[in-house]
């Protein structure tokens, strides 16, 4: 075989391999299949509006801030009536936008009060080949067969007093479905057999940190991540008082970092051997409340608060929106619009700017751009780097609280009323 023919065959193999990878890309959890806010799309949309690059737009019944998940030709979203009396899941066809199935999963006998900014369906489902797992906090968790829309199992006995509503999303790990049940009364993690729904392990938060504080400071809304440390997986989970790493197979504690005070929402991050932890609200006596971002070396054991936290920052750290990391830079946007780029190695500020918007959705990275989704329906695209470089601004009608999915060169975006597929 001559060199030119060999080179041509190699290029064809790489091309079709890329197409196959793109066709198989799914978005299985909150912030993606790797829980890191990164998409493998090569040509994600840059410009769109209500009249351009909208492949379809489908109205979704109910009020919900949960994100869409995608597997194969199905997009799943959870939803609920505004009063929480019906909790349901919606399956939409990826290609056409047609609703394939709406399934009522739970009808609670009574519902708890929620915060005015929350919904009764804020927890994002997770999905794999053949199964979707939908979680509504204390009201129930369900596994549905995505091939025939039959309910495989449900649990309604994992209860707590959320006080302001549920928000923590489930994750899949091997044969386990891992949930956080953290209210004003009880605080625990639980792993269920994903095929049967039966409990495999249950671990309570260390009560010495919770026993003598007001109930309002015990609740949390976090979604965990799994990272590999020295060849072993760790489940990184931040509650209202402290972040703890667990063995995901057993629920056994590995290390902990204490911070206090209340309401962790944003997910943790992992990059280049470090873990980045959001503290939730801090309430200093006589001072203004704030949120901390802590860098944690996950190689320790026991209480590593004083030994394995090389840096922390407190200025303009978001409580709700999860940052994204790429090329050793952390990009985070405060709820009020303060956008900051940090050096992930030492936490030093590289640059700051102010966006004239408010933000709840988490930041995503795709096709060489950073995506920021504002409450008022505007998406900002910026170029990663050592200075602020705006690429595009795109406006849609409606409110964006749910973090979108960027998959197969499309954006699956949910507003307060509609589900969009954005692409070309």
Q: 158-196 pLDDT, tens per residue?
A: 999 999 999 999 999 999 999 999 999 999 999 999 999
335-369 per-position pLDDT tens digit = 999 999 999 999 999 999 999 999 999 999 999 99
Q: Which residues does 5 contact at the CB level (< 8 Å), separation at least 6?
A: none
pLDDT at residue 3, as a whole number: 53
pLDDT at residue 262, as a whole number: 79
pLDDT confidence band for 260 (50 / 70 / 90): confident
Structural contact between residues 321 and 264, judged by C-beta atoms closer than 8 angstroms:
no
DSSP 20: H
The helix (H) or strand (E) run that includes residue 13 is helix 3-24
pLDDT at residue 282, as a whole number: 80
Q: In whole angstroms, how far apart are CA 59 and each of 71, 131, 375?
A: 20, 24, 18
pLDDT at residue 321, as a whole number: 96
pLDDT at residue 165, as a whole number: 95
DSSP 299: T
SS3 137: helix
Q: Which residues does 208 contact at the CB level (< 8 Å), separation at least 6?
A: none
% the chain with pLDDT above 90: 89
Mean pLDDT of 248-265: 93
pLDDT at residue 263, as a whole number: 81
SS3 99: strand
pLDDT at residue 287, as a whole number: 76
89-143 per-position pLDDT tens digit = 999 999 999 999 999 999 999 999 999 999 999 999 999 999 999 999 999 999 9
Q: Which two tokens stand for residue 38?
A: 């990164």
60-69 per-position pLDDT tens digit = 999 999 999 9
* Domains, the chain: 25-422 (2.130.10.10)
State the chain's mean pLDDT as an integer.
Answer: 94
The Cα–Cα gap between 289 and 287 comes to 6
pLDDT surpassing 50 at residue 288: yes
SS3 317: coil
pLDDT surpassing 60 at residue 35: yes
The Cα–Cα gap between 40 and 147 comes to 26
The helix (H) or strand (E) run that includes residue 295 is strand 290-296
Distance of CA 402 to the CA centre of its chain: 9
188-237 per-position pLDDT tens digit = 999 999 999 999 999 999 999 999 899 988 999 999 999 999 999 999 99
SS3 133: strand
Q: Which residues does 144 contact at the CB level (< 8 Å), separation at least 6?
A: 89, 103, 105, 131, 132, 133, 134, 150, 151, 152
Structural contact between residues 184 and 216, judged by C-beta atoms closer than 8 angstroms:
yes
Distance of CA 348 to the CA centre of its chain: 25
pLDDT surpassing 70 at residue 22: no
pLDDT at residue 10, as a whole number: 44
36-46 per-position pLDDT tens digit = 999 999 999 99
The Cα–Cα gap between 193 and 201 comes to 9
């Amino acid at each position: 075989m001559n060199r030119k023919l060999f080179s041509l065959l190699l290029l064809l193999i790489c091309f079709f391999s890329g197409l196959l990878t793109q066709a198989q890309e799914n978005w299985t959890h909150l912030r993606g299949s790797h829980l890191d806010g990164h998409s493998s799309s090569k040509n994600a949309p840059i410009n769109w509006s209500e009249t351009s690059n909208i492949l379809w737009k489908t109205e979704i019944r109910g009020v919900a801030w949960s994100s869409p998940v995608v597997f194969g030709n199905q997009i799943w979203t959870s939803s609920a009536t505004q009063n929480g009396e019906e909790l349901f899941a919606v399956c939409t066809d990826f290609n056409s936008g047609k609703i394939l199935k709406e399934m009522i999963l739970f009808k609670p006998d009574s519902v708890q009060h929620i915060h005015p900014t929350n919904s009764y369906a804020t927890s994002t489902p997770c999905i794999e080949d053949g199964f979707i797992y939908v979680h509504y906090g204390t009201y129930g968790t369900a596994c549905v067969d995505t091939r025939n829309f039959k309910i495989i199992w449900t649990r309604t006995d994992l209860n707590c007093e959320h006080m302001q509503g549920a928000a923590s999303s489930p994750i899949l790990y091997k044969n386990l479905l891992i949930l956080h049940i953290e209210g004003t009364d009880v605080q625990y993690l639980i792993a269920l057999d994903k095929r049967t729904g039966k409990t495999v392990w249950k671990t309570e938060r260390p009560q010495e940190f919770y026993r003598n504080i007001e109930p309002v400071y015990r609740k949390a809304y976090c979604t965990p991540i799994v990272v590999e440390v020295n060849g072993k997986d760790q489940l990184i989970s931040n509650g209202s008082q402290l972040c703890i790493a667990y063995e995901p197979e057993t629920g056994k504690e590995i290390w902990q970092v204490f911070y206090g005070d209340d309401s962790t929402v944003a997910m943790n991050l992992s990059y280049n051997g470090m873990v980045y932890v959001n503290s939730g609200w801090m309430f200093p006596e006589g001072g203004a409340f704030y949120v901390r971002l802590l860098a944690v070396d996950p190689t320790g054991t026991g209480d590593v608060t004083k030994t394995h936290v090389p840096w922390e920052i407190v200025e303009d750290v978001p409580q709700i929106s999860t940052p994204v990391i790429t090329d050793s830079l952390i990009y985070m946007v405060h709820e009020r619009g303060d956008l900051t780029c940090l050096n992930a190695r030492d936490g030093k500020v590289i640059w700051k700017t102010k966006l004239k918007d408010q933000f709840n959705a988490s930041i995503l990275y795709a096709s060489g751009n950073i995506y920021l989704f504002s409450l008022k329906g505007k998406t900002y695209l910026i170029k990663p780097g050592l200075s602020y470089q705006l690429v595009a601004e795109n406006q849609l009608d409606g409110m964006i609280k749910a973090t979108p999915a960027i998959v197969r060169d499309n954006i699956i975006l949910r507003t307060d009323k509609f589900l969009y597929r954005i692409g070309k």
